[in-house]
Amino acid sequence: MTTLTTAFAARAMREHGYEVTEGPDTPITGGAADSRNVAPGDLFTAFPGENTDGNLYVAAALRNGAVAAICGRRPEGEWPGQTVIVAPDPTRAVGQLAHAWRRHCGAHVVGITGTVGKTTAKEMTAGVLSRHFRTHRSTGNFNSREGLPLALLSLTEEHEVSVLEMGMDSKGEIALLCDIAEPEVGVVLNIGLTHVEKLGSIEAIAEEKLSLARWLPENGTAVLNVDDPRIAAGAEGLACRTITFGRGLEAAAPRPLLTWSDYHGEGLSGGRFFVTSGAKQARVDTPLPGEHTVPAAVAAMAVAMALGVSFFDAANSVRQSEAAGRARELRGRNGSTLIDDRYNASPASVAGALAMLGAQRASGGRTIAFLGKMAELGDHAEAEHRRIGEVAAANCTALVTFGELGRIVADSARSAGLSGTRWFATKEEGAAFLAGQLREGDTVLVKGSRSEALETILPELEAAP
């Protein structure tokens, strides 16, 4: 994609209120929505936001190297070396542009959704597919009606496959993303309570997530984790082909096409398990730590098979993948180890991370969790935080929490027998206390929703440079 093709597409929309100031023809290599993160070659889109308006930062984005901008009003100053498109609705405009570019490139598109683990599954799937195809992937968590179009802008004509994460926090968003990206393979990982505050019920969340599978064309493939009963129910009546996966332990559920079993963790370096399909079985070595990440690896295998890769080649490609999960291992104070898994938190992801932490007890050190709240759970917040306290008690030597919802976690863990539980009013107080307690051999999990900004307390816990 270049600024010339972008300007040409916008000029065709002049009758709808588009205005184009065209600069020299320059390659567009990516997209950005934050002027501070603009890289040379980016197209900047000025999205309206809850707290600010992207139109206020167009000039800053152009100064930082954006070769083009889509905005709702003309920026101050003159920009003869860059292309500026003024559109009535920048969000719609960049979506139309991304859709046209996706069609022009003609790559096979894989869409991945789920309440938890989307980014991990996207990275693993892209890693597996890159062993067989020239593969593009969405960057970071560009998975919304604003982010997904920007992710498509880095697609090139040379790519054979594009792997895109699809998120949602409102009804109809997944279908909108499908209209833009036109996926041929769609993965539904799981259905949980995150965003229930906005969607209203778990049933509404299930309907929205499953809309990816229902959108797929008849010659497409839905990859479905049927260990989740809501996904298993949604598999009925799909027009497209399906590849189901899971443990297949529920007697009432149909046996998945890909069944995994016998997981053995190898600490933060990953693990291994077996996958069976009919008479075929393969050992799979995964670089992702924790049993809760196995569905991401099996989904990646299934996507590869949907695109023509053999069962055994798909299994081997998981081992060869360089994909990494969200969790990072850091050096902590006094010889301790930190697991930085603070990017996001849902009931499923926190429970999985705690189980991974619990597996570290075999090394002989203490297992300590520093937990923030899980956001957007609505009326389910109290019950889910209480349940996480019980999970923490089963997996931790000690627990540190903060805030009002953290108090619920702490009380629940203490009631479940975890005497080494401490609650603090603020994360800063909790981190200061924990920093003074760390010793060699300790493993500390740091996890909470993004709104908790737990990155601010990491320096308190990390070893000195």
Report d(CA 269, CA 76) in Å as an integer. 51
Chain center to CA of 335: 31
Q: What Cα–Cα distance (Å) separates residue 122 from each residue in 39, 60, 297, 432?
A: 23, 31, 10, 36
pLDDT at 250 over 80: no
Nearest residue to 454 (alpha-carbon basis) of 320, 266, 362, 328 = 328
Instruction: Determine the 3-state secondary structure of 298 from DSSP.
Output: helix
Q: What is the DSSP letter of 132?
A: T
pLDDT at 393 over 90: yes
**What are 263-289's pLDDT values in tens digits?**
998 877 789 999 999 999 999 999 988
Predicted confidence band at 253 (pLDDT cuts at 50, 70, 90)? low
What are residue 341's phi and psi, to 5 degrees? Answer: -125, 40
- Average pLDDT of every residue of the chain: 91
Report whether 62 contacts 69 (CB < 8 A).
yes
Predicted confidence band at 373 (pLDDT cuts at 50, 70, 90)? very high
Report d(CA 214, CA 216) in Å as an integer. 6
The angle formed by the CA atoms of residues 464, 329 and 272, to the nearest 5 degrees, is 160
Report d(CA 142, CA 61) in Å as an integer. 18
Predicted confidence band at 298 (pLDDT cuts at 50, 70, 90)? very high
Domain 3-93: which CATH number of 1.10.8.60, 3.90.220.20, 1.10.3720.10, 3.40.1390.10: 3.40.1390.10
pLDDT at 68: 96
Q: Which CATH class is domain 106-320?
A: alpha beta
Nearest residue to 134 (alpha-carbon basis) of 157, 153, 151 = 157
Q: Among 102-106, 382-386, 448-452, which is the least confidently predicted range?
A: 448-452
Q: What is the pTM of this model?
A: 0.84
**What are 31-55's pLDDT values in tens digits?**
999 999 999 999 999 998 778 899 9
Report the percent of the chain where pLDDT is more than 90: 74
pLDDT at 81: 92
**What are 153-211's pLDDT values in tens digits?**
999 999 999 999 999 888 999 999 999 999 999 999 999 877 676 777 888 899 999 99
pLDDT at 376: 81
Superfamily of the domain at 328-461: Mur ligase, C-terminal domain (3.90.190.20)
Same fold flag, 106-320 and 328-461 = no
Report d(CA 12, CA 349) in Å as an integer. 46
| Domain spans, the chain | 3-93, 106-320, 328-461
Element (H, E) at 274: strand 271-277
pLDDT at 251 over 60: no
Report whether 160 contacts 135 (CB < 8 A).
yes
Residue for token pair 């619990």: 358
**What are 309-358's pLDDT values in tens digits?**
999 999 999 988 876 556 788 999 999 999 998 877 888 889 988 988 98
Element (H, E) at 208: helix 202-215
Predicted confidence band at 437 (pLDDT cuts at 50, 70, 90)? very high
pLDDT at 252: 45
- Any bridge partners for residue 332, and if so which? 462
pLDDT at 329: 84
pLDDT at 359: 83
